[in-house]
Amino acid sequence: MTVNLLRAVREAGERLGNVRVASLSIDPEERSEHLQSFRARLELPPQWRLLRASHPLRLREILQELRFTAVVRNDGQIDHPNVVYVFAPSGEVVAVLPGLSLTATDLLAAVDQARSGGYPWWRKYVLAVAAVGLALSAWVFVATWLKRVRLDQQQAPSIEVS
């Protein structure tokens, strides 16, 4: 995944502008030496930050905040989604991109969204408006149905039993 991110960053080039790139190790046993070896092997630029949590509990907190799930298999390997997070300057996650199929175009679009402050101000209200619309629709449906039931009851022929 880091290879794909590196390729996308290089392809985007100057169009990407001034961004900070970081890779977070999700291995709670990760050591600085391993990260430096990783940097050398992939020829990552010096400004590319390689991060690890200082304590497994802190790593778990970070992953929970990101809603990132990692599972340790019986053989000790870690299964996890290959995703790239793009953050706005405010710290808000504005995009979660597929790490294995990441393109420079996708990365540039996400970075542009992050620079504009994330989502438009109105986007957070869309769900609330949709919920109100759904509630009103349900109310109209129930009111119409009840009216129909009452009309059917009024128009039903009465049967006398003797």
Predicted confidence band of residue 160 (pLDDT cuts 50, 70, 90): low
Range of the domain at 82: 2-115
Tell me if 43 is assigned to some domain. Answer: yes
Tell me if 62 is assigned to some domain. Answer: yes
The Cα–Cα gap between 154 and 133 comes to 32
Q: What are phi and psi of 152, to 5 degrees?
A: -60, -40
Give this prediction's pTM: 0.65
The helix (H) or strand (E) run that includes residue 79 is strand 78-79
Which is more confidently placed, 133 or 109? 109
**Beta strand 22-24 with 49-51: parallel, antiparallel or unpaired?**
parallel
- Return the closest-CA partner of residue 111 out of 43, 3, 14: 14
Residue 61 scores a pLDDT above 70: yes
Tell me if 136 is assigned to some domain. Answer: no
Instruction: Note whether 113 and 94 are within 8 A (CB).
Output: yes
pLDDT in tens, 110-126: 999 888 876 665 666 77
Please give the share of the chain, as a percent, with pLDDT higher than 90: 23
Q: Which two tokens stand for residue 140?
A: 């109209």
Identify the weakest region by mean pLDDT among 31-35, 39-43, 142-146, 153-157.
153-157
- Which CATH number belongs to the domain containing residue 96 in this structure? 3.40.30.10
Predicted confidence band of residue 128 (pLDDT cuts 50, 70, 90): confident
- pLDDT for 65 equals 86
Tell me if 81 is assigned to some domain. Answer: yes
Tell me if 137 is assigned to some domain. Answer: no
Tell me if 158 is assigned to some domain. Answer: no
Section 62-71 average pLDDT: 84
Tell me if 133 is assigned to some domain. Answer: no
Domain count, the chain: 1
The Cα–Cα gap between 46 and 110 comes to 23
Tell me if 122 is assigned to some domain. Answer: no
